């Protein structure tokens, strides 16, 4: 009989937090995986700059409808998470990819690309540059003379 009550108590302890919150919170997700991997959006192996102290920078990039980032590449791994809207990234001969709200990706590093907001609402992107002191997060395509 004692084993029975121990089992009941254990079951109540495991279910307790969900029961205490009520049914409106039962679908709550504590962890949602956004990205896991070792390749960029176009299949490059992610690597870090060598020999320098780590320098991580995060920012939110907003593109209005019709705006573009301009052709650029990254000198460090860059993780992007679409907060709202959607962005289409043109990777030239590697094709185009569209990322929507709730999607995460590691952008191409050593490949020129251009992000475009082709939608009707602003796109907001959380960008995290995982770099090193002295490295360039964004390297813009040189303009023709």
pLDDT tens digit string along 48-72? 767 678 888 999 999 999 999 999 9
Q: What is the pTM of this model?
A: 0.72
Tokens of 46: 């992610």
Determine, yes or no, domain membership for 93. Answer: yes
pLDDT in tens, 65-106: 999 999 999 999 999 999 999 999 999 999 999 999 999 999
75 in a domain, yes or no? yes
Q: Is residue 129 domain-resident? A: yes
80 within a domain of the structure (yes/no): yes
* Confidence band, pLDDT 50/70/90 cuts, at residue 3: very low
- Whether 32 is covered by a domain: the verdict is no
Token pair, residue 61, equals 């990039």
Q: Give the model's pLDDT for residue 27.
A: 58
- For 95, the domain range is 54-140
Number of domains in the chain: 1
Phi-psi region of 42 (alpha: psi -120 to 50; beta: other; left: phi over 0): alpha
| Residue 24 falls inside a structural domain | no
C-alpha distances in Å from residue 25, one per residue of 11, 13, 14, 19, 21: 19, 17, 16, 9, 6
Residue 115 belongs to domain with CATH number: 2.60.120.10
Is there a domain that residue 36 lies in? no
């Amino acid at each position: 009989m004692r084993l029975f009550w121990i089992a009941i108590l254990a079951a109540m302890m495991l279910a307790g937090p969900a029961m205490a919150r009520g049914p409106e919170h039962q679908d709550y997700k504590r962890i949602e995986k956004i990205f896991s991997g070792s390749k960029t959006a176009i299949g490059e192996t992610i690597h870090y700059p060598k020999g320098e102290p780590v320098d991580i920078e995060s920012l939110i990039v907003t593109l209005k409808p019709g705006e573009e980032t301009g052709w650029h590449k990254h000198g460090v791994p860059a993780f992007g998470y679409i907060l709202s809207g959607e962005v289409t990234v043109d990777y030239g001969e590697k094709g185009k990819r569209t990322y929507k709200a709730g999607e995460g990706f590691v952008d191409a590093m050593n490949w020129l690309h251009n992000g475009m907001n082709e939608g009707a609402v602003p796109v907001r992107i959380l960008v995290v540059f995982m770099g090193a002191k002295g490295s360039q997060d964004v390297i813009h395509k040189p303009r023709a003379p």
